């Protein structure tokens, strides 16, 4: 499954994601732990309404 990293906008494979996070009941996938850290710090900034 292809997903988009909300932080760097890179398209990645969900199974190969380096990190995942949940926000408002939705799961997000990240290419690197650094992207997850940025997301966890301020998720609202990366998630559209």
Q: How far is the CB of 4 from Zn ion (least distance, A)?
A: 9
Length of the chain counted residue by residue: 49
Nearer to Zn ion, 12 or 24 (CB): 12
> Could you count the other beta carbons within 10 Å of the beta carbon of residue 17?
20
CB of 38 to Zn ion, least distance (A): 8
To Zn ion, the closest distance from the beta carbon of 49 in angstroms equals 21
Q: How far apart are CA 31 and CA 12, in angstroms?
A: 7
By the criterion CB under 5 A, which residues form the site for Zn ion? 5, 7-8, 31, 35
């Amino acid at each position: 499954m292809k997903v988009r990293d909300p932080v760097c906008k890179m398209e990645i494979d969900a199974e190969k994601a380096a990190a995942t996070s949940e926000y408002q009941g939705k799961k997000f996938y990240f290419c690197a732990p650094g992207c997850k850290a940025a997301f966890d710090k301020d998720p609202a900034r990366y998630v559209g309404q």
